[in-house]
Amino acid sequence: MEVYSTAEIKNLLQNKVSPELFEELKIDSRKGVQQLLVSYEKRQQTIELAKNNFYDRLSFERQLSAEGFSAVAGIDEVGRGPLAGPVVAAAVILPADFFQPEVNDSKQVSEKKRNTLYEIILEKAVAVGIGVISEKVIDQVNIYQATKLAMIDAVKNLEVPADFLLLDAMKLDLAIPQESLIKGDARSVSIAAASIVAKVTRDSLMTAYDEEFPGYDFTHNAGYGTKNHLAGLSEFGPSPIHRRTFAPVKDYFK
């Protein structure tokens, strides 16, 4: 058996090692080496679990592929609840070999990781479509209908036409086969990818609005009714991007 220093073993275990080498290292009686092996095994178990969970979340896409669908689009939206700004939807068609276990419901992913995954999704996706429906339209048709319009626009803006739609608890008036999944962003990788794209896109829009309409802290609250946002609303009144039909904004227009 080749004798490695503890530092060399630590470097080796940064990546997956062969079962043969791992068994050799288990014989090493040094306490530091054994601690490294315990950490390595836990890390590999975490990686394996993430991989298995990822493949579970691909089950809908894989089944649809087996049925002959080649352009399955996951669709999700962000921005139903805020007091200001648009509702944004994204449609994402992923390639068959897409592998990124960290892609999950955008609410389960940190902002830093979301931004990283957003770039990966845009790079790897077969097609990405975005739909943005303004606060004015939301006030005219209600948020539920506006969400549908945003999703329809996202599908229509795909560079590659979708032949099947996976949606998060929604049905669209489109002549495309579709399936509505309760908590779809946690059950489908395609929907999760769409949730990330929609979230990052909308957050960027709200950051830009924060510069245009300062005082409401849009950068940090994305239009939701936080303490700082409500304080700004009280001091300055509604901005042009506030939703006039949403309480407490509508109280300013009585």
Residue 81 has pLDDT above 80, yes or no: yes
Residue 11 burial by Cβ neighbours in a 10 Å radius (0-12, 13-18, 19+) = exposed
Give the helix, strand, coil percentages of the chain, each rounded to 5: 55, 15, 35
Q: What is the pLDDT at residue 2?
A: 63
Q: What is the pLDDT of residues 191-222, one digit of tens each?
A: 999 999 999 999 999 999 999 999 999 999 99
Distance CA 220, CA 67 (A): 44
Which structure tokens are listed for 87?
Answer: 């509702």
The mean of the pLDDT values for the chain is 94
Please, what sign has the CA dihedral across residues 96, 99, 100, 101? positive
Confirm if 189 and 74 have CB atoms less than 8 A apart: yes
Q: What is the pLDDT at residue 9?
A: 86
User: Side chain identity at 193, as an amino acid letter?
Assistant: A
Confirm if 158 and 128 have CB atoms less than 8 A apart: yes
Residue 180 has pLDDT above 90, yes or no: yes
DSSP SS3 for 88? strand
At CA 77, angle to CA 165 and CA 61, rounded to 5?
30
- Which residues lie closer than 8 Å to 196 by C-beta, 6 or more apart? 103, 106, 109, 114, 117, 118, 121
Distance CA 33, CA 1 (A): 15
Residue 99 has pLDDT above 90, yes or no: yes
Q: What is the pLDDT of residues 83-98, one digit of tens each?
A: 999 999 999 999 999 9
DSSP-derived letter for residue 106 is G
Question: 50 or 122, which is more confident?
Answer: 122
Residue 156 has pLDDT above 90, yes or no: yes
Looking from the CA of 65 toward its CB, the CA atoms found within 13 Å total 12
Mean per-residue pLDDT, 23-52? 89
Distance CA 209, CA 207 (A): 5
Which structure tokens are listed for 236?
Answer: 């300055």
Distance CA 247, CA 74 (A): 31
Q: Give me the domains of the chain, ranges plus CATH numbers.
A: 6-56 (no CATH), 59-208 (3.30.420.10)
DSSP SS3 for 67? coil
Distance CA 59, CA 90 (A): 21
Residue 42 has pLDDT above 90, yes or no: yes
Residue 1 has pLDDT above 60, yes or no: no
